[in-house]
Amino acid sequence: MTDISLAMVAVRRADRVVLATLGLFAVLLLLVPGQAYDSLGFTPDPLVFIAPFLLASVLIAASVKATGLDAQIAVVFSGRQGPVIFVAALFGALSPFCSCGVVPIIAALLASGVPLAPVMAFWIASPLMDPEMFVLMAPVMGLEFTLAKTLSAFTIGLTAGFATHALTLRRVFANPLKALDGGCGGCAGPGLDHVAAIRWAFWREDQRRARFAAEARATGWFLFKWLTLAFLLESLMVAYVPGQAIAVYLGGDSLWAIPLAVLVGVPAYLNGYAAIPTVSALVDMGMAPGAGLAFMVAGGVTSIPAAMAVFALVRRPVFLWYLGLGLSGSLFVGFTYQAYITL
């Protein structure tokens, strides 16, 4: 084979996400070297911030598969969907996982046969609120706003679960997971032919120990490469979408303030913790409180890092449904909260 042919084969075999990340950085270095260095400094910070959450979620997902707990979870979640969806939404609203950290867990649940409806309820609710965020938000945004966001997380998760259940009864969203190269959250690694019982001490068995290692390795790499690209893109949005412009266009009590807040909240994503002082400042500058809530909810549910991980994980109809649920839920809670405070 010629050198050109060998190079083409190498490119085809290379990881497309890694190539996209390196290619984007190369373009920045060539065209705007100052921004390239800024992005290089920005990207590791959010990765370090969410590292504990991602590590916990990866270890949990790998342990679930290695112990055989996934088969038992599938049985429990396959019961009456009403109570299961309710519990999934409630647990999601109280769980400590961010929108990216929850991805390997929902992947493991779907791969083990858990119905999509309760998984979607947990998936949508989880990134919006957790105990630590509640404690941090209450003194900055006020208890009323914080309770409104907590209730929003549960309400959107519950609605998403039941809406998804209604569609799955009509056999929509069959086989929601993609067949992933390299795997993620249960899609790769040596498998157990049959799990008859849970083995909590999975490290005592070679096959289970190998499955844990393969699962953790595949899931960790999957998240790391996608999140690196996502946070690189986020650095560009932070640089080119100024906060002052957001305040100007989302200020006041215009009818369009809340829909615009939802549309801006997705590309101008801030993680749930960083959004607290930002939205507080924007509300002080004139942003409608309902628009502020919609902005935070839209950015949390459909954040760019999480959306990219979801896009790589599930089939396109499920991904579009996930986006639709997040955007429509953000509009609903924004208008509802704004109507409540203006009574």
User: Within this chain, do residues 331 and 217 fall inside the same structural domain, yes or no?
Assistant: yes
Residue 230, C-beta contacts closer than 8 angstroms, at least 6 positions apart: 304, 305, 308, 309
**Token output for 272:** 């749930």
CA distances from 335 to 154, 213, 264, 275 (A): 17, 47, 16, 20
User: Within this chain, do residues 84 and 223 fall inside the same structural domain, yes or no?
Assistant: yes
CA distances from 12 to 15, 109, 315 (A): 8, 31, 22
Kindly state the average pLDDT of the residues 33-48: 86
Quick check: 84 pLDDT over 60? yes
Lowest mean pLDDT among 32-41, 51-60, 190-199: 190-199
User: Within this chain, do residues 48 and 5 fall inside the same structural domain, yes or no?
Assistant: no
**Token output for 27:** 């373009």
- On whether the pTM is more than 0.85, the answer is no
User: Within this chain, do residues 26 and 117 fall inside the same structural domain, yes or no?
Assistant: no
Kindly state the average pLDDT of the residues 237-257: 65
CB 297 within 8 A of CB 128: yes
* d(C-alpha 58, C-alpha 101), whole Å: 8
User: Within this chain, do residues 250 and 315 fall inside the same structural domain, yes or no?
Assistant: yes
User: Within this chain, do residues 279 and 135 fall inside the same structural domain, yes or no?
Assistant: yes
User: Within this chain, do residues 26 and 127 fall inside the same structural domain, yes or no?
Assistant: no
CA distances from 226 to 47, 125, 220, 294, 297 (A): 11, 22, 10, 26, 22
Indicate the number of domains in the chain: 2
Better-predicted residue by pLDDT, 189 or 156: 156
pLDDT tens string 126-167: 878 877 678 778 887 889 998 999 999 999 999 999 999 999
CA torsion 67-73-76-81 (nearest 10°) is 180
Question: Could you list the residue range(s) of the whole structural domain that residue 5 is in?
Answer: 1-31
User: Within this chain, do residues 17 and 72 fall inside the same structural domain, yes or no?
Assistant: no
**Rounded to 5°, angle at Cα 137 from 133 and 141:** 155
The pLDDT mean for the chain works out to: 76
What is the per-residue pLDDT for 183?
44
Quick check: 318 pLDDT over 60? yes
Better-predicted residue by pLDDT, 138 or 102: 138
Backbone angles phi, psi at 287, to 5 degrees: -65, 135
User: Within this chain, do residues 125 and 79 fall inside the same structural domain, yes or no?
Assistant: yes
User: Within this chain, do residues 27 and 65 fall inside the same structural domain, yes or no?
Assistant: no
Q: Which residue has the tokens 């200020």?
A: 251
Percent of the chain with pLDDT over 90: 12
Quick check: 222 pLDDT over 80? no
Indicate the burial class of 282 (C-beta count within 10 angstroms; 0-12, 13-18, 19 or more). buried
Phi-psi sector, 186: left (phi>0), alpha (psi -120 to 50), beta: left
**In a 3-state reduction of DSSP, which class is residue 287?**
strand
User: Within this chain, do residues 64 and 10 fall inside the same structural domain, yes or no?
Assistant: no
Kindly state the average pLDDT of the residues 221-230: 77
DSSP classification of residue 198: -
Of residues 340, 314, 329, the one with CA closest to residue 89 = 329
Residues forming beta bridges with residue 251, ordered by sequence position? 287
CB 267 within 8 A of CB 314: no
User: Within this chain, do residues 50 and 84 fall inside the same structural domain, yes or no?
Assistant: yes
SS (H, E, C) 122-169: HHHHHHHCCHHHHHHHHHHHCHHHHHHHHHHHHHHHHHHHHHHHHHHC
* d(C-alpha 189, C-alpha 212), whole Å: 8
Of residues 248, 321, 329, the one with CA closest to residue 294 = 329
CB 189 within 8 A of CB 214: yes
